Amino acid sequence: MEAPQYVAARVQAALAEDRRTHELGIRVDVRGDQLFLRGQVSGAEQRERLGEVAREAAPDLHVHNEINVVEVGRPGEVEHLD
């Protein structure tokens, strides 16, 4: 059986390299037959695509898509540098 660390690395590479996602900042953890995705993306569609690519890359694992969608509709803080 492939060691869980290698499975996680393979899934992470797929998320980065697959044309549908190209997402580099996602954390992938494997525990037994469960795979967990964590991180932040800017849209719900990107989150779904990441789950899809992960499921294809590790078809034997149960994928838990725990990625957060961050809404960034408003401007942030103002900082005065002096």
Partner 1 sequence: MTELRIAAVGDIHLGEDVRGQYRKSLDGIGDRADILMVAGDLTRHGTLEEGRVVADELRDLPIPVVAVLGNHDYHSDMQHEIASELRDAGVIVLNDDSAVIECDGTRLGVVGGKGFGGGFAGKCASEFGERETKNFVRHTRLIAESWQHALKEIDADRRVVLSHYSPIKETLEGEPLEIYPFLGSYLLAEAVDTAGADLILHGHAHRGTEKGMTSGGIRVRNVALPVLGAAYAVYCLADE
Q: Give me the least distance between CB of 68 and partner 1, in Å please.
A: 9
Distance in Å, CB of 2 to partner 1, minimum? 21
Instruction: State how far the Cα of 31 lies from the Cα of 48, in Å rounded to an integer.
Output: 21
Q: How far apart are the first and last CA of the chain?
A: 58
Query: Looking at 32, 59, 60, 79, which residue binds partner 1 (CB under 8 A)?
Result: 79
Q: Which stretch binds partner 1 (CB under 8 A): 4-12, 14-22, 28-36, 53-61?
A: 14-22
- 34's CB contacts (< 8 A; 6+ apart) are 61, 62, 64
Determine if 60 is a binding residue for partner 1 (CB under 8 A). Answer: no
